[in-house]
Structure 1
């Protein structure tokens, strides 16, 4: 599961960078279709990046709870 989220995170970073590049380096955003494309790239890229940090925190918390149990 974590491997899939890492792949999605990487794809999200690429989409975010592509949207930023289109916004900053081209005149593509002067048209409505360009604005829509750039906003979609940035928004969807950010959206698919977000589950990985949450999953990593849950995994860390699970490891913490199992290591905190007193041994008898």
Structure 2
């Protein structure tokens, strides 16, 4: 996880309480970390027309999400 060829960490389990620890993982590794629930929240927030902004659950949610045309 700490090698130069690792760009990000994906936590693939919706039962894992990753939202509570995403920011700590990112801080410790110095790399983005994305969980399944976080990715779903990011996409749904964008599709609902809500603005991007930090919510305290990692870097991803500060980025703009896909627009509705992406999903058609």
Q: TM-score, normalised by structure 1?
A: 0.29
The structure that is strand-richer by fraction is: 2
Q: Higher relative CO (CA 8 A, sep ≥ 6), structure 1 or 2?
A: 1
The structure that is helix-richer by fraction is: 1
Say which one has the larger Rg.
Answer: 1
